Amino acid sequence: MKKLRFATLWLDGCSGCHMSLLDLDQRLLDLADMVDFVYSPLVDVKIFPEGVDVACVEGAVSSAEDEEKLRMVRRRTGLLIALGDCAVTGNIPAMRNVLGGQKILQGVYLEREHLNAQIPASHLPALNEHALPLHRFVPVDFFIPGCPPSADTLFAALGALVAGRAVDLPALTRFGA
């Protein structure tokens, strides 16, 4: 059987979902038997390749750069999975949405900083007004809620997807789980 080309992407999130992936421990080897890791913050590849079968995206979309990356991933990927609450609902990054992008920058970098207070601007992507879940930008094929989804959840969900089996996700995870 041809192995699926598998990728993960890390946008505005704490990387906890990727930690859950690492928490698979020895089952990482089982996963490696099923898929080829062609792109991930966990592997040493710099460019997201064409023809990816499955991509798991962690984190909310918070900046123009996130948005651009996500659209590129969507174009190059067959099955797009929103991995974890930030990608699914916006979650913690979206807690700033009640204030808006400019206000949060001012609050963090100007109002609380007494020494050389400035909003970092050069070489940084512009912050969007709101941090939003993936499906506000591109179609998402599968949602795995959880903060983070546990290693067991990931293994069950990814295993089922690769094998083409149905999976009862609500039994495994939920918002905030």
Partner 1 sequence: MTQREALQQQAEQRQQVLDAFSHHLLVCAGLGCLHNDEIIKALRKEIAAQGLEQQILVRKAGCMGLCALGPLVLVLPDAVYYQTVTPQDAGEIVAALGKEPVQRLLLPADLPFFSKQQKKVLALSGRIDPENIDDYLAAGGYASAVNAITAMSPPEILRIVGESGLRGRGGAGYPTGLKWATVAQAAGERKYLICNADEGDPGAFMDRSVLESTPHAVLEGMLIAAYAVGAHTGFIYVRAEYPLAVKRLQLAIREAERNRLLGQGVCGTSFDFTVQLRLGAGAFVCGEETALIESIEGRRGTPRPKPPYPAENGLWGSPTLINNVETYANIPLIIARGAAWFAAQGTEQSKGTKVFALTGRIKHAGLVEVPMGMTLREIVFEIGGGIPDGHAFKAVQTGGPSGGCIPAEHLDAPISYESLSALGSIMGSGGMIVMDDTSNMVDIVKYFMEFCMEESCGKCVPCRVGTAQIHSLLQKFCDRQASADDLAALETLCDLVKTTSLCGLGQSAPNPVLSTLKYFRQEYLDRMADPSGPHQEGQL
Partner 2 sequence: MTPIPPHPPETAQTLNLTINGRQVSAQAGETILEAARANDIFIPTLCFLEGLSAQGSCRLCMVEIAGSAKLHPACVTRIQEGMEVTTETERLRDYRRNIIELLFSERNHVCAVCVASGHCELQDLASELGVDHISFPCRYPTLAVDASHRRFVLDHNRCILCTRCVRVCAEIEGAHTWDVKNRGIRSLIMADFDAPWGDSETCTGCGKCVHVCPTGALFEKGLAVAEMRKQRPALPTLVANRATEQR
| Residue numbers at the binding site for partner 2 (CB under 8 A) | 82, 85, 88-92, 94-95, 97-99, 130, 133, 135-136, 140, 143-145, 147, 169-170, 174-177
Largest Cα separation within the chain, whole Å, is 60
Quick one: what does residue 176 bind among partner 2, partner 1, none, with the CB cut-off 5 to 8 Å set by partner type? partner 2
Taking CB under 8 A as the binding criterion, the range among 5-13, 80-88, 116-124, 131-139 that sits at the site for partner 1 is 131-139
| Cβ partners under 8 Å of residue 85, min gap 6 | 91, 92, 145, 146, 147, 148, 175, 176
| Total chain residues near partner 1 (CB under 8 A) | 9
Sole binder of partner 1 in the list 137, 152, 159, 160 (CB under 8 A)? 137
Shortest CB 137 distance to partner 1, Å: 6
Taking CB under 8 A as the binding criterion, the range among 2-10, 50-58, 130-138, 169-177 that sits at the site for partner 1 is 130-138
Query: Is residue 138 near partner 1 by the rule CB under 8 A?
Result: yes
CA separation for the pair 18, 114 (Å, rounded): 35
DSSP state for residue 106 in the 8-state scheme: I
b/e 4-42 (16+ beta carbons within 10 angstroms → b):
bbbbbbbbbbbbbbbebbebbeeebeebeeebebbbbee
Contact residues toward partner 1 (CB under 8 A) are 67, 128-130, 132, 136-139
